Amino acid sequence: MSVKAYGAIAADNPLEPMAIARRAPGPRDVQVEIAYCGVCHSDLHTVRSEWGGTRYPCVPGHEIVGKVSAVGAEVKGFQVGDTVGVGCMVDSCGHCAACGEGLEQYCENGFTGTYNGATADPPGHTFGGYSQRIVVDERFVLRIRHPEAQLAAVAPLLCAGITTYSPLRHWNAGPGKKVGIVGIGGLGHMGIKIAHAMGAHVVAFTTSEGKRRDAHALGADEVVISRDAAQMQAHAGSFDMILDTVAASHDLDAFTSLLKRDGTLVLVGVPEHPHPSPAIGNLVFKRRAIAGSLIGGIAETQEMLDFCAGHGLVADIEMVAARDIDKAYDRMVRSDVKYRFVIDAATL
Ligand code: NAP
Ligand code: ZN
């Protein structure tokens, strides 16, 4: 079945309308008519091959929400008409230790990305959510319990939500903990909302003075302009955890020095160019750690969606028509996004 999509045929090409094929649903597949898809900075990194290894044509998008339009004969969990989500993964081996623990994102045989992943479907790599329809194994389909009117603003939870929720949970953000969130973009603004809802004392770090008021409205108890050394110094040695969502290379020492003894700087941003090597003294003298975290498993993604529905959390979004995605990318590079672009699939 051919459906409309937006994608790029090369790294230096803008996105353009294209037709892509979707398989007929197999016995365990769920077919989803896409309503909205969020625009993640990873889409931009991939389309422009900033990480290398992009397969073209590239149809990005892994913050997908929509309605089930068909299910395979063996599908038990979903029915036609259900409101569902699809995030960053559409398959994993299902039998390694990581999959056994519900950590499909760390699948030892490699999970299949929602886009740019290897698949048996032609042309051999997956196409993401900048399209009208997607067909996904039911194990990778999420249930949406938010009110229908919030659907567009739920889409970014499928990546930005889980990518911040998972490390906040893993490093025990909650009452009595001082948590920093670095970069107020798509991930960062959800990180602020979720850490606040978990009960932590939240400090937002931004390079954009103009985001200060918004950061408080999102749930930050304090806001620090990270380019201001005096403001940074006032928080030296005080954080349990800092979650760094920045999409560009930057100095990590400015943040490791703000951690308490045994505090952790968790990197989720994956910039095109590496960060300067961190100062080792900053780590060894206080047993501080630098860690990384990748999205979250399927069970945890459902837990996050239900947590957000229960706390009334959605993303702050700006709707964008498919023809304007490149303009949205350029604004994202300039940190000018409040705070997630979402594509209305009706504009494809
Ligand atoms: P985004 O919306 O573009 O937000 C990134 C924010 O970082 C900007 O809004 C800006 O916030 C800050 N920033 C940008 N350039 C900066 C610079 N040179 N120095 C300091 N701060 C800067 O991006 P996103 O969609 O949230 O994604 C963020 C990163 O996470 C990307 O690299 C993406 O690929 C990665 N990612 C990782 C995972 C994972 O599983 N680990 C999942 C999804 C995305 P301020 O204006 O507040 O400074
Ligand atoms: Zn993403």
pLDDT tens column, 65-107: 999 999 999 999 999 999 999 999 999 999 999 999 999 999 9
The whole-chain average pLDDT of the chain stands at 98
Within the chain, which residue ranges are assigned CATH 3.40.50.720?
160-292
Helix (H) or strand (E) holding 197: helix 186-198
DSSP structure class, residue 110? -
- Position in ligand 1 atom list of the atom nearest CA 295: 40
Residue 68 CA to its chain's centroid (Å): 22
Q: Which of 270, 272, 290, 325 to mutate to test the pocket of ligand 1 (most atoms within 8 A of CB)?
A: 270
Mean pLDDT in residue range 338-346: 97
Within the chain, which residue ranges are assigned CATH 3.90.180.10?
2-159+314-347
Task: Give the pLDDT confidence score for residue 247 in this predicted structure.
Answer: 95
Tell which CATH architecture fits domain 2-159+314-347: Alpha-Beta Complex (3.90)
- Position in ligand 1 atom list of the atom nearest CA 184: 47
Q: Coil, strand, or helix at residue 133? A: strand
Which ligand has the minimum distance to the alpha carbon of residue 60? 2
The pLDDT confidence band at residue 109, using thresholds 50, 70 and 90, is very high
Name residue, tokens 């860690």: 291
266 forms bridges with which residues in the sheet? 243, 291
- Position in ligand 1 atom list of the atom nearest CA 267: 41
- Position in ligand 1 atom list of the atom nearest CA 246: 7
Give the distance (Å) from ligand 1 centre to CA of residue 341.
13
Give the distance (Å) from ligand 1 centre to CA of residue 140.
25
Give the distance (Å) from ligand 2 centre to CA of residue 44.
10
The pLDDT confidence band at residue 269, using thresholds 50, 70 and 90, is very high
- Position in ligand 1 atom list of the atom nearest CA 340: 2
85 forms bridges with which residues in the sheet? 65, 142
In terms of phi and psi (left: phi > 0; alpha: psi -120 to 50; beta: otherwise), the region of 33 is: beta
- Global confidence as pTM: 0.98
Q: Whose CA is nearest to atom 12 of ligand 1?
A: 183
Topology of 160-292 in CATH? Answer: Rossmann fold (3.40.50)
Token couple for 124: 């051999």
The pLDDT confidence band at residue 45, using thresholds 50, 70 and 90, is very high
CA distances from 64 to 128, 152, 265, 276 (A): 8, 9, 29, 34
What angle, 0 to 180 degrees and rounded to 10, lies between the N-to-C axes of helices 160-170 and 186-198? Answer: 40
Helix (H) or strand (E) holding 32: strand 29-39
Please, are residues 228 and 253 in contact by the beta-carbon 8 Å criterion?
Answer: no
DSSP structure class, residue 132? S
Mean pLDDT in residue range 217-242: 98
Task: Give the pLDDT confidence score for residue 215 in this predicted structure.
Answer: 98
pLDDT tens column, 61-71: 999 999 999 99
Give the distance (Å) from ligand 1 centre to CA of residue 247.
4
Ligand 1 binding pocket, CB closer than 6 Å = 40-42, 45, 159-160, 163, 183-188, 206-208, 211, 245-248, 250, 268-271, 293-295, 332, 335, 337
pLDDT > 90: percent of the chain: 100
